[in-house]
Each structure stands twice: as structure tokens, then as C-alpha cells.
A = this chain, B = another copy of it.
Amino acid sequence: MKSYKIAVIPGDGTGPEVVAEAVKVLEAAEERFGFRLDKTWYDYGGDRYLRTGEVLPEGAAEDLKQYKAILLGAIGHPDVKPGILEKGILLHLRFALDQYINLRPVVLYPGVDTPLKDKGPEDIDFVVVRENTEGLYAGAGGVLKKGTPDEVAVQESINTRKGVERCIRFAFEYCRRRNKGKKVTLCGKTNVLTYAFDLWERTFHEVAKEYPDIQTDYAHVDATCMWMVKNPEWFDVIVTDNMFGDIITDLGAMIQGGMGIAAGGNLNPEGVSMFEPIGGSAPKYTGKNVINPMAAICAGQMMLDYLGEAEAAQAVEAAVRRAVSENLKSLSAGRMGYSTTEVGDLVAGYVRG
């Protein structure tokens, strides 16, 4: 039987609850489709940090390289200063494992409520390919004369040809694989960020030449946000840098129904990839069995697809689609008409068939 070594990091707050349901659904898929996820659990997160004083133990990223994929719950603890865990765990792993793509499908499933008027599932179906290891996330910069009236703080966006090219290439390849497979839109700010997006634009046009079957388009980041709200049907695959990707994928999450359903993959196609629901740790709902685990289940679904278990991935997607269209009253915590564990049972049941 095919077997994949997987690391599971439930993390903070409601992370463990939603990961448990994702694992429940994955187990149903394993049984039905005859493969095995060989899971190792890690306690990385805020509690461990508060207990031990270290965000991650030494060699953590190195150790995680033995796995094919990582399933992550949520990082963020009310007693830890914001930034420490995000930088120390989430961003650290993205960088150390060279997960250079952040892949965020923005799909409105039938039955899910979008805040947009007159838009339905046929209008909201695109993917954002976000560069995930460079740009403003490099952590480069500094501060001069801190705390004085003359203080200057500098933050640098660093973009390499290699980093930009592999991201853009991924976007074109992904576009080919997608059913629609029509168009890649570069989202940037060429008229202002003339150094960074000159590199992006040149690379985009060069790589595009290798994909004559795929249309190309360009939109400034400000315009992209407008069209995502007004004409989301214009988009197929959007490729962009780390910071703009962060912004437009959250906007994307909202138009596809919110944090209850949005999942993403931090991909290193040649290494270890990490899948996560993109909502936070939602501490106020912890332990109440009310949080929506659907986003974590979708992260699991993306992981299956990535592992090459396409049939299993399709079955999970179909099960999620069925549950949100036939059963769930809402995607919001406490208003689903089902508890967290019941949603897991429901989707797992549909996967079993």
C-alpha cells in the first residue's frame, strides 16, 4: 500500500480541533482509496513556546525535511506578543523549507454565501499564486535614530530573478493544468515600484513566451482589489509578490465565503510542502466544539492533490461541496447548525460514500 510520511502541527487555539476533523476526513479517504498517511505529531505553537521559551527547537526545519508534507492547524496565542509565533514558526518554516509558492484557490462553492451582490459560483473561481520566500517578507531593513524625532525606518523588498521566475513559471504550469487554463494575470505596481516590478514584468513576458497557448494580462494591485470585488470572473490565475499576495488572498478568502472555508498550500514542489487553513487560531472559540473545520479539511484536500492522490482529493472536494450546499446553515463558528466534530463526521461520511 502506498504510504506518505506526513507531519501534523495542530498549533494553537482551535487549531487542534480543526486538524482533528481534517485528519478524520483524511482517514476516510485513506480507507476508501487504499493509501496511508503515516503521521507524526508536533506540538509547535504558543503553549510550547510559553513552556519552553523557544519558538521552535533547534533543527526543527531540518527534521521536518523527512516528510512529504505538513498539515498545519493555526499559529497564534493570546499570551504571546503578535509576530513572535508567526515569524518564528510560520514564516520561518516557509523560508527554511524554501516553500516558494503560496497557492490559494479562490472558489465559491454552491450554497456558500458571498458578501458580493450578483456573484455566484460561476463568477468566483480563480487561483492566486503568491511568491512566498522573498519581497517585503525578506525581513530586510533597519532603523536609524530610533525613538528620536529624526527616526528613519526602512523596510526592503528583495526580489531575485530566480525567485520571481520560478514563481511565474509555476503560475503558467498551474494555469495549463487547470480546467479553464486560459489566462495568467500579473498583479503588481509597475508605475510606482519601478525596480521590483520591472524585474517581475520582464520575467513575466519572457516566461510567457514559452506558453503561447496561455493569455497574459496585467493589473495594478489597487485595480486587482477592485476587480476582485466587481468582476472576479475576469480572473483565472493571478501571480504576484509576497506582500500583494498576502493582501489579495485575504480579500479572496472573504469573497469565497470567509475564513471558514479558505485554505492554502505553501509549496516546495521539489521538497516539503505545508498546507493550512488560512484563518487564525480563534482563541475565543477554543474547546467549544463550534469552530468550522471546513478550511482545515480543504487544506487536507489540497495536500492529497499535491501528494498525487487525485481521486481521493476529488472525493474530499465533492464531500465538502455537498456538505456546504446540503447541510451547513452558515460557515460561521456557532452558526453552522452542526458542531465541529459533527462537520468532520458528515464530510468523512460523504467521503466513505
Contacts and interface: CB of A to CB of B under 8 A. Distances in A.
Interface of A: 82-83, 86-87, 91, 114-118, 136-137, 139, 141-143, 147-162, 189-196, 198-199, 202, 221-223, 225-226, 229-230, 243, 246-251, 253-255, 258
Given A149-B161, A189-B246, 10 more contacts: A83-B192, A150-B162, A153-B196, A153-B199, A155-B193, A155-B196, A221-B247, A222-B247, A225-B254, A251-B251
Assembly stoichiometry (copies): 2
B161 A82 contact: no
A190 B84 CA distance: 11
10 contacts: A83-B192, A86-B192, A91-B192, A143-B198, A149-B162, A151-B199, A153-B195, A154-B158, A223-B250, A225-B250
Contact of A82 (B191, B225, B247, B250): B191
Count chain B CB atoms within 10 A of each CB in A114, A136, A248 and give the residue with the most: A136
B143 A195 contact: yes
A17 B24 CA distance: 63
A115 B161 contact: no
A82 B192 CA distance: 10
A187 to B, nearest CB: 11
